[in-house]
Structure 1
Amino acid sequence: MKNHNFFTKSTVLFIAFITVFFTGCVKDFIGHGGGKKTLKVKTIIGTDFPANDGLHVAPDGTLYASNFGVFDPALGKYNGTQVFEIDKRGVKVKAEGLEAPMGSAEDSNGNLYFNTENNNDAVSGVLVKVAPDGSSSKITEIPGWPSGVTIDEQDVLYIANFFAPTIHKVLPDGTISILATDDRLFGCVGIDVDDEGNIITANFFTADILKVTQEGEVSLIANIPNTTQGFAIGYMTLFEDDIYATGISENVIYKVGFDGTTEVFAGTGENGSVDGKLNEASFSAPNGIAADERRRILYISQYGEPGLRAIKF
């Protein structure tokens, strides 16, 4: 795979615009603290946000976002090609020349990982590493449609699969194996690792939230009710002992307990991008979600109307 570490003139202009916009929003969003506050949804970047898929937050608060794109009938495939880096200075292209990148994870050396080149053929996809300098390289090919990706403290990667009943495991040296095979894993996208090393994953089709142990045992944590079957859950993340998942068709954010309880955490269900209190705000096909645990922020990308949304605890 070729290296992609350059910017076009239009990209530079875009970055300059977003830098001013984003910096102001962050200052306003974080606020000055003090007292118990009402949780609210706030738009960090509006319709200029260039990504609609997986999110990842680095320890320093930098956010990475993959752009899966939308289906282009002329191309016969999804048209996203870029991964973005977002911080207080603005938005910049981290890597480009990819093919509908999905997911996002970062190892201890600052390398980012994405799944790409599956693009609706359901035959196989490619796990890609993006180095800190923005250069990209192929790690391995994975059968099916590799989707979400997460990583543990030992830099072991775990890959969900949208079109195969598997969870793959990839060691730092590139050795790949199947951690688990179970029909319930077919259609999983959102994926994370809990404090005990279990893999938690969400099924896009069925709204099942599943646990996979290091021995490959699969069990059901919860099924989120009243979802649109076949288009139920985008991504999910773990935050402060709970699971947060995006209801991509229902335009809400779900909160799921490890005891199996489920609730609508944020969103009215209306399709929109209205900020406000959790039960008054609206989302437009929320998709990616990631937790900044240190700063206690949930970030959400949208597959519908473009936008980067956030909830600060």
Structure 2
Amino acid sequence: MRAMLRLGILSAVLAAAGPGYAQDVVTITEVIDGGSGGLAVDTGGNIYIGDFGPDLGGHGTRVFKVTPDGTVSVFADGFDGASGNDFDSQGNLFQSNINAWRIDKIAPDGTVAPFTNVGIIAPVGIAIDDADTLYVCNCGTHNIRKIAPDGTSSFYVGSPLFACPNGITMDDDHNLYVANFQDGNLIKITPDRTVSLFATIPGNNNGHVSYHNGLLYVVARGANQIYSVTLDGTVRLVAGSGERGNADGSLLEAQFSLPNDVVPDPSGRYLYVNDVVGGMAQNDTAPMVLRRIDLEAVADAPEAPVETGSWPLQIDAVRPNPFGSSVTISFSLTETMPVLATIHDVQGRQVRRVMDQSLDAGAHQLVWSGIDDSDQPVGPGVYFYRFRTPDRTQSGRIQLVR
């Protein structure tokens, strides 16, 4: 599971208690000269931060170690865009390299060794189950890889719902949850590999996601906020005013700036979040600080579920389905907006871009005749259509029979 062994170790976070500890959100480090990559926490409460690099180009080379009192040191080096990470049961930290297309294994003493690069394309988030099997987000190919403890890498699942799958975590029933970077969708994958849209987070740009004590915690990078999601899909604002900045304070007054990852400490009392200092441009990832959210304050706050609203694009009909020569997807818009419509195979690979234009409010139709982007006929089987607007992505299943 993400970030820690469940040994019930008491947190040492309060060792450096001071006046600022009366606040719900506090900054625990000085400014760190590195980019905000993934977060993981060991059983002693130490936090490990991947150095993504100065911007979304992602060429950071280090992994930082932060003690609970905020002391920062370099734990390991030699990476290329250190993004998502997670610990296995032996205390090894597995680190994604988004630009090297590789997963590295970092021993407890900081020794780095390549683990696998097979099928790894622009990897980001990592979740590790109780058997030390890795599940890795391939942002570059919009799918999830499964990596056995011996390093054997295999395709796990793909879906047109994935839009640069970024963060990943696992609940107690071994369901996976994936946070998209290119939209606000949170995707659920059941153990039988059924993929579905689980929730939509405000901001249209997620960071990472973590599971703890029956709740999912999701970084809304685009909204500069942190949200929780119950296992029935209810979305609730946890922290962040929404105004970009780095000010500490109460839950809804504190500011975040392009936050990236969120992870609980071993005691379950706190959430750690890394965000950018300043963050004037949307692609900024550095420099950064590490923040801490008091979950006791969250528990005491009044319930305020987030109303995500209805989507202005509505799928009205898909006929015929299954289809032989062509399928017509009827949809309607409540307002004028750009619409991108694509067809994908079962591994999430784009087959055909069918529509990419601004459409007026009203009824519309999309027709796909079973051809790819090279105008060649595709084989029979299951495909997925995907509609993307500035606010959301929606997809559905279609079947071609020849």
Q: Determine if the TM-score, normalized by the shorter chain, exceeds 0.5.
A: yes
CA change 1:108–1:42 in 2 (3 A) is same
RMSD (Å) for aligned C-alpha atoms: 2.4
1:194 to 152, 171, 188: 171
Q: Does 1:106 align with 2:87?
A: yes
Map of 1:157-168 to 2, 5 A cutoff? 157-168=134-145
Which structure's CA Rg is the greater one? 2
- Normalising by structure 2, what TM-score? 0.63
Q: Which runs of 5+ in 2 are unaligned?
A: 1-11, 279-287, 296-402
2:47 to 49, 63, 69: 63
Aligned residue identity for 1:224 = I
Aligned match of 1:263:
236
- TM-superposed CA distance for 1:250, in Å, is 1.4
Aligned residue identity for 2:95 = F
Cα separation, 2, equivalents of 1:26 and 1:49 = 24
Aligned residue identity for 2:293 = I
Aligned residue identity for 1:238 = Y
Q: Does 1:151 align with 2:128?
A: yes
Q: Does 1:95 align with 2:95?
A: no
- Which range is displaced more, 245-254 or 47-56? 47-56
Cα separation, 2, equivalents of 1:198 and 1:105 = 17
After superposition, give the CA deviation of every residue in 1:267-287 in whole Å (9 maximum; x if it has no partner).
Answer: 111111111110111011111
Q: Which secondary structure state, in structure 1, belongs to the residue aligned with residue 89 of structure 2? A: coil
Aligned match of 1:203:
180
Map of 1:244-259 to 2, 5 A cutoff? 244-259=217-232
Q: Which secondary structure state, in structure 1, belongs to the residue aligned with residue 17 of structure 2? A: helix
Q: Is residue 139–residue 166 contact of structure 2 (8 Å, CA) maintained in 1?
A: yes
After superposition, give the CA deviation of every residue in 1:68-106 in whole Å (9 maximum; x if it has no partner).
Answer: 01249xxxx433110011114722211112111111111
Q: Which secondary structure state, in structure 2, belongs to the residue aligned with residue 185 of structure 1? A: coil
Aligned match of 1:18:
none
Cα separation, 2, equivalents of 1:49 and 1:189 = 23
Q: Which runs of 5+ in 1 are unaligned?
A: 1-22, 33-37
Aligned match of 1:28:
17
Map of 1:1-313 to 2, 5 A cutoff? 26-28=15-17, 40-48=24-32, 50-71=34-55, 77-88=57-68, 90-116=71-97, 118-119=98-99, 125-141=101-117, 142-225=119-202, 227=203, 229=204, 232-305=205-278, 306-313=288-295
CA change 1:244–1:30 in 2 (3 A) is farther
After superposition, give the CA deviation of every residue in 1:92-147 in whole Å (9 maximum; x if it has no partner).
Answer: 2111121111111111111110111x32xxxx710110111211111111342111
Cα separation, 2, equivalents of 1:294 and 1:135 = 27
Q: Which protein, 1 or 2, shows the higher relative CO under an 8 Å CA cutoff with sep ≥ 6?
A: 1
- Normalising by structure 1, what TM-score? 0.81
